[in-house]
């Protein structure tokens, strides 16, 4: 078990770093994570014009008024490589243990994790919570949608049709009618109606690339195509896709998330930007993330319509305020965290550090 505390205060360019480490034996899964590392950070605030737990007070690097956030880092089982996270109905966190073919659960009160095997060959990518409060998983290894009953850990598998082998399943979302829509990077998108269990799959425009997916408050479904560098809007009745082009060519639209106004936020991986599509005006805006070589992977919009991103280039979480058009940067406690997805609940932002085998909780309610 290790305990790490970082205090970063951006005062006069002076940074005080205090590191304490204790070594102890690790316990098998199910296992108790070490007290999370908590970092209280004052973000670095940078205006960009349009073109765990060990607790660590994390002070963002900032050129403007900044927002203090406490980062809590929890250990996941070694080799689990947690990919996506979702807030559990009971206050815990579900995560996909992609490296171990399992669905994991983190108890935030005790710091303990447990994992549920999903089957031989499983390689889960995304996890979301359905209207039934159960976790639903996009499993690329099984080429199936998987549901786990949180009351008894029973695993239910919905295979894709034979016409869609090796779909490389990515992410899913439920629409307002309780239908699950999903993406496959091999070049497909599809849906599953839990009422009958039928899975349907269609070929995506421009072939390979469908990645992140989101639903707006009025029920519209959008997905991002990483290889295709576009955002697709799905018509739920006809299943047809309207291709929406961000201003920057070959930007690498990776993930998408809707805000409360129905605007669609996009993490642009190749361009190191965050983009925003406003359906009400059919218009786009883009902002470059701070840093020398930003790589915007994940995007999430919280309950206050603040936009969170993960930056692989800066090994950081980044918050963008649409009102001020400024960024706050929160360095990750662990090196090479590789946050591939962000989710959250009121007062908390959740992330999985796939490169460090960590789960991250950012407490934002104390601002």
Distance CA 16, CA 27 (A): 33
Report pTM. Answer: 0.86
Of 276, 297, 300, the C-alpha closest to 349 is 300
Domain assignment present for residue 154? The answer is: yes
What does the alpha-carbon distance between residue 228 and residue 239 come to, in Å, rounded to a whole number? 19
C-beta atoms surrounding 70 within 10 Å? 22
Contact 311, 322 (CB under 8 A): no
* Short-list 273, 265, 270, CA closest to 228: 270
On whether residue 108 sits in a domain, the answer given is yes
Separation between Cα atoms, residue 41 and residue 43, nearest integer Å: 6
pLDDT of residue 7: 31
Q: Which domain holds residue 220?
A: 6-363
CA–CA gap between residue 84 and residue 300 (Å, rounded): 12
Q: Decide if pLDDT at 246 tops 70.
A: yes
> What is the C-alpha separation between 362 and 228, in angstroms, rounded?
32
pLDDT top residue among 130 and 22: 130
273-299, pLDDT tens digit by residue?
A: 999 999 999 999 999 999 999 999 999
CA angle, 120 then 188 then 223, to 5°: 110
What is the distance between the terminal CA atoms of the chain, rounded to a whole angstrom?
30
d(CA 65, CA 6): 21
- Angstrom distance (rounded) from CA 316 to CA 309: 9
Whether 1 is covered by a domain: the verdict is no
pLDDT at 49: 30
Burial of 195 from C-beta contacts in 10 A (0-12 / 13-18 / 19+): exposed
Torsion of the alpha carbons at 261, 262, 268 and 271, rounded to the nearest 10 = -60
10-59 tens-digit pLDDT:
333 333 232 333 333 333 334 444 444 444 444 443 333 333 355 555 55
DSSP state of 50: B
In this prediction, what percent of the chain has a pLDDT beyond 90?
80
**Cα–Cα distances in angstroms (integers) from residue 310 to residues 35, 109, 222, 331, 339, in the given order:** 24, 25, 20, 10, 6
By C-alpha distance, which of 321, 262, 256 is closest to 287?
Answer: 321
Q: CATH number, domain at 32?
A: 2.130.10.10
Residues with Cβ within 8 Å of residue 323, at least 6 apart in sequence = none
Mean pLDDT on 312-330: 97
For residue 261, give Cα distances in angstroms to 197, 221, 314: 32, 14, 29
| Secondary structure (3-state) at 98 | helix
* Calpha distance 118→159 (Å, rounded): 13
Residue-level pLDDT at 352: 97
Mean pLDDT for the stretch of residues 141-161: 98
How far apart are alpha carbons 327 and 66 in whole angstroms? 9
What is 56-67 written as a DSSP string? Answer: EEE--B-SS---
Rounded to 5 degrees, φ, ψ at 318 are -130, 130
Taking the C-alpha atoms of residue 7 and residue 34, their distance in angstroms, rounded to an integer, is 19
Structural domain count of the chain: 1
């Amino acid at each position: 078990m290790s305990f790490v505390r970082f205090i970063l205060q951006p005062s006069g360019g002076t940074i005080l770093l205090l590191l304490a480490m204790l070594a102890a034996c690790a316990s098998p899964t199910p296992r108790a994570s070490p007290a999370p590392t908590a970092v209280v950070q004052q973000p670095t605030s940078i205006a960009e014009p349009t073109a765990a737990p060990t607790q660590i007070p994390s002070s963002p690097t900032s050129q403007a008024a900044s927002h203090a956030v406490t980062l809590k880092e929890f250990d996941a089982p070694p080799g689990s490589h947690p990919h996506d996270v979702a807030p559990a109905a009971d206050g815990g966190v579900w995560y996909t243990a992609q490296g171990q073919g399992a669905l994991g659960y983190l108890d935030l009160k005790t710091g303990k994790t447990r994992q549920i095997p999903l089957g031989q060959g499983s390689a889960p990518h995304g996890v979301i919570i359905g209207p039934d409060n159960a976790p639903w998983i996009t499993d690329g290894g099984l080429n199936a949608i998987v549901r786990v009953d949180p009351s008894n850990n029973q695993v239910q598998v919905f295979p894709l049709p034979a016409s869609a082998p090796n779909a490389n399943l990515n992410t899913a979302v439920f629409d307002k009618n309780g239908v699950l829509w999903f993406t496959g990077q091999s070049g497909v998108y599809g849906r599953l109606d839990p009422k009958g269990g039928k899975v349907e799959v269609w070929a995506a425009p421009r072939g390979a690339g469908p990645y992140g997916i989101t639903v707006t408050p009025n029920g519209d479904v959008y997905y991002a195509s990483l290889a295709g560098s576009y955002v697709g809007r799905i018509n739920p009745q006809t299943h047809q896709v309207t291709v929406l082009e961000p201003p920057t060519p070959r930007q690498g639209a990776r993930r998408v998330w809707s805000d409360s106004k129905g605007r669609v936020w996009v993490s642009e991986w190749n361009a190191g930007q965050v983009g925003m599509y406003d359906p009400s005006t059919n218009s786009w805006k883009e902002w470059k993330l701070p840093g020398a070589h930003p790589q915007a992977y994940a995007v999430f919009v919280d309950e206050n319509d603040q936009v969170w991103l993960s930056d692989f280039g800066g090994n950081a979480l980044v918050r963008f305020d649409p009102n001020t058009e400024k960024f706050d940067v929160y360095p990750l406690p662990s090196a090479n965290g590789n946050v591939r997805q962000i989710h959250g609940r009121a007062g908390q932002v959740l992330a999985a550090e796939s490169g460090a085998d960590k789960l991250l909780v950012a407490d934002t309610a104390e601002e």
